[in-house]
Amino acid sequence: MNPGDRVRVERADRSYEGVLLPSSTDQQLVVKLEGGYNVGIDREDAAVDVLEQDVYEIDGASGDEDGGSAVEFDEELPTIALISTGGTIASTVDYRTGAVTAQFDAEDVLRAVPDLAGRANYRGRVVANILSENMEPPIWVELAEAVREEIEAGADGVVVMHGTDTMQYSASALAFMLETPVPVVFTGSQRSADRPSSDNVMNAVCAVEAAKSDCAEVMVCMHASESDDRCALHRGTRVRKNHTSRRDAFETIGADPLGEVDYDSESVTIRGDHQQRGEAELALAADLEEDVELLKFTPGMDPAYLDVAEGSAGLILEGTGLGHVHTDLIPRIEELIEDGTTVVMTSQCLEGRVCDRVYDTGRDLLEAGVIEAGDTLPGTAKVKLMWALANADSVPEAMETSLAGELQTRSTPWN
Amino acid sequence: MNPGDRVRVERADRSYEGVLLPSSTDQQLVVKLEGGYNVGIDREDAAVDVLEQDVYEIDGASGDEDGGSAVEFDEELPTIALISTGGTIASTVDYRTGAVTAQFDAEDVLRAVPDLAGRANYRGRVVANILSENMEPPIWVELAEAVREEIEAGADGVVVMHGTDTMQYSASALAFMLETPVPVVFTGSQRSADRPSSDNVMNAVCAVEAAKSDCAEVMVCMHASESDDRCALHRGTRVRKNHTSRRDAFETIGADPLGEVDYDSESVTIRGDHQQRGEAELALAADLEEDVELLKFTPGMDPAYLDVAEGSAGLILEGTGLGHVHTDLIPRIEELIEDGTTVVMTSQCLEGRVCDRVYDTGRDLLEAGVIEAGDTLPGTAKVKLMWALANADSVPEAMETSLAGELQTRSTPWN
């Protein structure tokens, strides 16, 4: 038996039928089941029948020098660049410890998801191999440069495989850094490939379909519901991971998703305003001012926390309600601003706009020089401020203007 | 004309018909319209017709010595204690500056909301008169003591009027501090009384109805939808203000609301498990360890922020996903724990449970001594840790146990 064969595996009174995939350990067989899920089966005492040879063409080599595709080149198909940063979608189970560690590169993912075959020509590329809680601004810069290079080299779309923990921050970073004429689609997986409920196959397939679409935006493509029926396409600057474990954890905040990909029909639907393929010219402004912090205000907050921002280039406040903090903090905030720190207000409510003209506290904050981020999400505002401090002519103007769909203009917060 | 008269006011080509209310300034008339909303009208050039005298009995005096009711005592009716802490529901527009400042006490609210008449006998009491961003743990203690005193004095239910910004924190504080045999209902207002869309009347009426119900829990009662049809009743420890300005901004996270109050029929519906009236004996454990901070992790976070927690009694981390931070921070977190700081992990996803057994980062955090808060909301976890550090025999056990409905037990995070 070889990877790519259709097999039936019997073990411990259970039977599995599907395509054998390459495994990273000798102790297990990985079988792609009919439903699209991969299952890991202990090789010991397992009986394997080969039902059909070479159902999928799987390249066992570790990739060509140019990151070559594991499927045959087809001139009729678009070329999609797969960029891996790590995370569950690019991981397999490490059975020695019982936990999940990142160990796939993009080439491996392609081999592990045979359903990607026939949809595009692929180029694989590894920018990082980290769990996304370890993502850092310098890697955003590397990622943005990699995406630009892939587009320059002719990619018709880019899929970024990323851990889900901080995907929204990375997607925001690329949305501010990059002017893109093609789709840039982040996708990930909430359940590892060995789980019956893994979402990695459907998310990867839908992300590739989205990358072939006409929506030239930085998007996040993840399950739209708990079913395996469709993925939602979220604007990178408006998306948030709202659940620790559900497959449909990602939601667009304060708006409908940009669109969706139907898994069965493979059709991509984009709604509302969006940038069309070819509309923008490829450009990269990847400089970041990293010395920006985010501080969430809660009752009883020690004012000493504000001292940490002393000398910082920027500070995002996650205030309460329309954008408030305890009034005792305002003089200290004013000092920070006078000393050169750009302070931007967002709301921990997450939905709705900051509006500091309504109450005394807010007006005092505005008088102290605090900039309002409208309905920009706090995490997105942090990334944006990093970008604006390094690139914008006027930082206040940039923070109050929508640069990448992060700020939805409304005349009043009472919507 | 006198407060309590039904009047028609004509001014600037507009006509208003309703009951005249006491006004805090000479420059304006405040009229309660048929729909239940109060409108402020500039007295200058206003023509007033008195249509009917003394439609409502309104006591113009500033309250009896015992905080006496502005409506006649009725032995058939339950007694509800109204406790005011300030906020929009207890405020009127300050036309001199164009902004809203808190200036009502509970007695004023009762006079401003004639619809409360006939539903209960009232006792009014002012604990604070602050905008809720200025709420602090010592005021929670005063509030809890006031609630206890009112219940001891025979109140059949308590309504706490509170600004919406930090209502969820105060409600959580009372839920941990207080064992209550009667309902304790927080309510507030997202729109001030002079706005046609003010929610103060319906919220106050529904809160009083909830306070008369059999659900002896600490609850939040706010608009359930954008319509004026019903209020939702949220468990104080599971509620969150999720929108800066909408009237239905408050939502129960990870569960359905405890119940609802139908505005028209005045019926209160409570679903699922809850503490019945009379089930618990009145008790107060109001000690708080105030030296607890909350820190939200975002990519690029300066490790120096952790230094602020040095020597603190407790630290709530708002991690990513299942409860992660950058692995570089873990040694510093371990040091804090070794030095005596209790560190508790929550998730910025808000929905779903923290589970640090799945990934390496999480297991390292557990090994460092971090306590998991399950699906306790980050803000609630901060209040709970303040309470647990001052009251619990075992803080880790307390943080991993549901004390006031704040933690919903599930066998697995993959719900």
Instruction: Report the alpha-carbon distance of residue B346 to residue A54 in Å, rounded.
Output: 47
Per-residue pLDDT at B129 = 78
Rounded to an integer, the average pLDDT of B242-270 is 96
Instruction: Report the alpha-carbon distance of residue A258 to residue A251 in Å, rounded.
Output: 11
pLDDT at B108 over 70: no
B1 domain-assigned: no
pLDDT tens, position by position, B177-205: 999 999 999 999 998 777 777 888 899 99
pLDDT tens, position by position, A209-233: 999 999 999 999 999 999 999 999 9
pLDDT category of residue B89 using cuts at 50, 70 and 90: low
pLDDT at A282 over 80: yes
Long-range pairs of B327-331 with CB within 8 A, sequence gap ≥ 24: B327/A131, B327/A133, B327/A134, B327/B360, B327/B361, B327/B364, B328/A134, B328/B303, B329/B297, B329/B301, B329/B303, B330/B361, B330/B364, B330/B365, B330/B368, B331/B368
Instruction: Report the alpha-carbon distance of residue B151 to residue B239 in Å, rounded.
Output: 24
Per-residue pLDDT at B244 = 95
pLDDT tens, position by position, B272-301: 789 999 999 999 999 999 999 999 999 999
Instruction: Report the alpha-carbon distance of residue B245 to residue B234 in Å, rounded.
Output: 18
Q: Which residue, chain included where needed, has tokens 């309104």? A: B58
Same domain, residue pair A15 and A148: no
Please give the mean pLDDT across all residues of chain A. 86
Same domain, residue pair A104 and A211: yes
Q: What is the DSSP letter of B324?
A: B
Same domain, residue pair A237 and A132: yes
Per-residue pLDDT at A36 = 52
Q: Which residues of A touch B137 (CB under 8 A)?
A: 299-300
Same domain, residue pair A332 and A348: yes
Is the Cβ of A267 closer than 8 Å to some Cβ of chain B?
no
What CATH number should be reported for the domain holding residue A28? Answer: 2.30.30.520
What CATH number should be reported for the domain holding residue A223? Answer: 3.40.50.1170
Q: Which residues of A touch B103 (CB under 8 A)?
A: none
Instruction: Report the alpha-carbon distance of residue B62 to residue B70 in Å, rounded.
Output: 9
Instruction: Report the alpha-carbon distance of residue A216 to residue A210 in Å, rounded.
Output: 10
Phi, psi of A256 (to 5 degrees): -80, 155
Which two structure tokens, joined as six digits, stand for B134?
């200025």
Is B32 marked active-site?
no
Alpha carbon separation from A119 to A63, A188, A211, A268, B302 (Å, rounded): 19, 19, 11, 14, 43
Which of A308, A327, A363 lies nearest to residue B304, judging by beta carbons? A308
Rounded to the nearest angstrom, the minimum Cα separation between B362 and chain A is 10
Which of A135, A323, A350 lies nearest to residue B242, judging by beta carbons? A350
Which residue has better confidence, A60 or A372? A372
Is the Cβ of A137 closer than 8 Å to some Cβ of chain B?
yes
Q: Which residues contact A248 (CB under 8 A, 6 or more apart)?
A: A222, A223, A224, A225, A226, A232
What share of chain A has pLDDT > 70, as a percent? Answer: 84
pLDDT category of residue A86 using cuts at 50, 70 and 90: confident
Per-residue pLDDT at B392 = 98
Which residue has better confidence, A370 or B24? A370
Which amino acid belongs to residue A173? A
Residue B347: strand, helix, or coil: strand
Per-residue pLDDT at A304 = 83
Is the Cβ of A327 closer than 8 Å to some Cβ of chain B?
yes
Same domain, residue pair A276 and A297: no
Domain range for A381 is 292-399
Residue B274: strand, helix, or coil: coil
pLDDT category of residue B61 using cuts at 50, 70 and 90: very low
pLDDT tens, position by position, A184-206: 999 999 987 777 778 888 999 99
Tell if the CB–CB gap between B136 and A300 is shorter than 8 Å. yes
pLDDT at B110 over 70: no
Lowest pLDDT segment from A97-106, A218-227, B40-49, B102-111: A97-106
Tell if the CB–CB gap between B294 and A296 is shorter than 8 Å. yes
Residues 367..386 of A with a Cβ closer than 8 Å to B: which?
A: 375, 379, 382, 386
pLDDT category of residue B67 using cuts at 50, 70 and 90: very low
Final residue belonging to a domain, choices A225, A253, A284: A284
Final residue belonging to a domain, choices A257, A284, A311: A284
Same domain, residue pair A118 and A158: yes
Which two structure tokens, joined as six digits, stand for A135?
């993502």
Is the Cβ of B197 closer than 8 Å to some Cβ of chain A?
yes
* Pairing label, strands B292-296, B47-52: unpaired
pLDDT tens, position by position, B387-410: 999 999 999 999 999 999 999 976
Q: Which residue, chain included where needed, has tokens 């949809």? A: A119
Per-residue pLDDT at B32 = 72
Which amino acid belongs to residue A230? R
Per-residue pLDDT at A414 = 46
Per-residue pLDDT at A88 = 67
| Angle at the Cα of A366 from the Cα atoms of A365 and A370, rounded to 5 degrees | 80
Which of A245, A305, A354 lies nearest to residue B352, judging by beta carbons? A245
Is B88 marked active-site?
yes
Residues 67..106 of A with a Cβ closer than 8 Å to B: which?
A: 97, 99-101
Q: Structurally, how many domains does chain B consist of? A: 3
Alpha carbon separation from B100 to A360, A362, B94, B149 (Å, rounded): 7, 11, 6, 31
Per-residue pLDDT at A37 = 53
Tell if the CB–CB gap between B244 and A165 is shorter than 8 Å. no
- 3-state SS string over chain A? CCCCCEEEEEECCEEEEEEEECCCCCCEEEEEECCCCEEEEECCCCEEEEEECCCCCCCCCCCCCCCCCCCCCCCCCCEEEEEECCCHHHEEEECCCCEEEECCCHHHHHHHCHHHCCCCEEEEEECCCCCHHHCCHHHHHHHHHHHHHHHHCCCCEEEEECCCCCHHHHHHHHHHHEECCCCEEEECCCCCCCCCCCCHHHHHHHHHHHHCCCECCEEEEEECCCCCCEEEEEECCCEEECECCCCCCEEECCCCCCEEEECCCCCEEECCCCCECCCCCCEECCCCCCCEEEEECCCCCCCHHHHCCCCCCEEEEEEECCCECCHHHHHHHHHHHHCCCEEEEEECCCECCCCCCCEHHHHHHHHHCCEECCCCCHHHHHHHHHHHHHHCCCHHHHHCCCCCCCCCCCCCCCC
Burial of residue B403 (number of CB atoms within 10 Å: 0-12, 13-18, 19+): middle
Q: What is the DSSP letter of B275?
A: P
Interface test with A, best of B245, B353, B365, B410 (most A CBs within 10 A): B245
Residues 161..180 of B with a Cβ closer than 8 Å to A: which?
A: 163-166, 169-170
Same domain, residue pair A355 and A315: yes
Is the Cβ of B55 closer than 8 Å to some Cβ of chain A?
no
Rounded to the nearest angstrom, the minimum Cα separation between B190 and chain A is 9
Final residue belonging to a domain, choices A242, A268, A284: A284
A240: left (phi over 0), alpha (psi -120 to 50) or beta: beta
Which of A97, A322, A386 lies nearest to residue B244, judging by beta carbons? A322
Q: Compare all CA atoms of chain B with the CA of A293 and give the residue at the minimum distance.
A: B301
Tell me the count of A-B CB pairs closer than 8 A: 207
Which of B79, B85, B92, B164 is catalytic? The answer is B164
Q: Where are the alpha helices (DSSP H) in B153-199?
A: 167-177
Report the half-sphere exposure of A150 (CA within 13 A, side-chain side).
33
Bridge-partner residues for B28, per DSSP?
A: B42
Of B17, B30, B25, B20, nearest to B56 (Cα)?
A: B20
B112 domain-assigned: yes
**Residues A383, A240: contact at Cβ < 8 Å?**
no
Count of C-beta atoms within a 10 Å radius of residue A192: 21
pLDDT at A349 over 90: yes
Tell if the CB–CB gap between A165 and B318 is shorter than 8 Å. no
Is the Cβ of B410 closer than 8 Å to some Cβ of chain A?
no
Which of A131, A241, A382 lies nearest to residue B298, judging by beta carbons? A382
Tell if the CB–CB gap between A305 and B305 is shorter than 8 Å. yes
Which two structure tokens, joined as six digits, stand for A224?
């739209």
Q: Which residues of A does the annotation mark as catalytic?
A: 88, 164-165, 241
Rounded to the nearest angstrom, the minimum Cα separation between B79 and chain A is 31
Rounded to an integer, the average pLDDT of B89-116 is 52
Count of C-beta atoms within a 10 Å radius of residue A115: 15
Rounded to an integer, the average pLDDT of B110-131 is 81
Per-residue pLDDT at B25 = 56
pLDDT tens, position by position, B8-22: 999 878 888 887 876
Same domain, residue pair B134 and B204: yes
Tell if the CB–CB gap between B134 and A359 is shorter than 8 Å. no
- 3-state SS string over B11-24? ECCEEEEEEEECCC
Task: Please give the ipTM for the structure prediction.
Answer: 0.83
Instruction: Report the alpha-carbon distance of residue B40 to residue B23 in Å, rounded.
Output: 9
pLDDT at B27 over 90: no
Same domain, residue pair B19 and B165: no
pLDDT category of residue A255 using cuts at 50, 70 and 90: very high
What is the H or E stretch that residue B161 is in?
strand B157-161
**Residues A236, A171: contact at Cβ < 8 Å?**
yes
**Residues B119, B73: contact at Cβ < 8 Å?**
no
Rounded to the nearest angstrom, the minimum Cα separation between A335 and chain B is 19
Rounded to an integer, the average pLDDT of A101-127 is 70
Q: Which residues contact A413 (CB under 8 A, 6 or more apart)?
A: A322, A352, A353, A354, A355, A358, B244, B245
pLDDT category of residue B105 using cuts at 50, 70 and 90: very low
Rounded to the nearest angstrom, the minimum Cα separation between A301 and chain B is 6
Interface test with A, best of B290, B298, B315, B325 (most A CBs within 10 A): B298
Which residue has better confidence, A110 or B267? B267
pLDDT category of residue A360 using cuts at 50, 70 and 90: confident
pLDDT at A415 over 50: no
Alpha carbon separation from B69 to A10, B59, B76 (Å, rounded): 78, 9, 15
B69 domain-assigned: no
Rounded to the nearest angstrom, the minimum Cα separation between A189 and chain B is 12
A135: left (phi over 0), alpha (psi -120 to 50) or beta: beta
B68 domain-assigned: no
Is B241 marked active-site?
yes
A385: left (phi over 0), alpha (psi -120 to 50) or beta: alpha
pLDDT at B164 over 50: yes
Q: Which residues of B touch A244 (CB under 8 A)?
A: 321-323, 347, 349, 351-355, 375, 413
Q: Compare all CA atoms of chain A with the CA of B196 and give the residue at the minimum distance.
A: A414
**Residues B247, B190: contact at Cβ < 8 Å?**
yes
Lowest pLDDT segment from A11-20, A260-269, B29-38, B161-170: B29-38
Per-residue pLDDT at B93 = 33
Instruction: Report the alpha-carbon distance of residue A411 to residue A320 in Å, rounded.
Output: 21
What share of chain B has pLDDT > 90, as a percent? Answer: 63
Q: Compare all CA atoms of chain B with the CA of A317 and give the residue at the minimum distance.
A: B296
Instruction: Report the alpha-carbon distance of residue B40 to residue B126 in Å, rounded.
Output: 24
Of A304, A129, A306, A108, nearest to A204 (Cα)?
A: A108
Per-residue pLDDT at B146 = 94
**Residues A241, A207: contact at Cβ < 8 Å?**
no
A68 domain-assigned: no
What is the H or E stretch that residue B364 is in?
helix B360-368
Rounded to the nearest angstrom, the minimum Cα separation between B198 and chain A is 11
Is the Cβ of A299 closer than 8 Å to some Cβ of chain B?
yes
pLDDT category of residue B114 using cuts at 50, 70 and 90: confident
pLDDT at A346 over 70: yes
Residue B353: strand, helix, or coil: coil
A408 domain-assigned: no
What CATH number should be reported for the domain holding residue B388? Answer: 3.40.50.40
Instruction: Report the alpha-carbon distance of residue B352 to residue B347 in Å, rounded.
Output: 8
Q: Which residues of B touch A164 (CB under 8 A)?
A: 321
Tell if the CB–CB gap between A99 and B363 is shorter than 8 Å. yes
Per-residue pLDDT at A238 = 97
Tell if the CB–CB gap between B294 and A298 is shorter than 8 Å. yes
Per-residue pLDDT at B39 = 66
A69 domain-assigned: no
Same domain, residue pair B205 and B349: no
Tell if the CB–CB gap between B320 and A191 is shorter than 8 Å. no
Rounded to the nearest angstrom, the minimum Cα separation between B253 and chain A is 10
B140 domain-assigned: yes
Which of B99, B296, B386 lies nearest to residue A363, judging by beta carbons? B99
Same domain, residue pair B118 and B247: yes
Per-residue pLDDT at A16 = 85
pLDDT category of residue A411 using cuts at 50, 70 and 90: very low
pLDDT tens, position by position, B370-380: 999 999 999 99
Bridge-partner residues for A315, per DSSP?
A: A293, A343
Same domain, residue pair A379 and A267: no
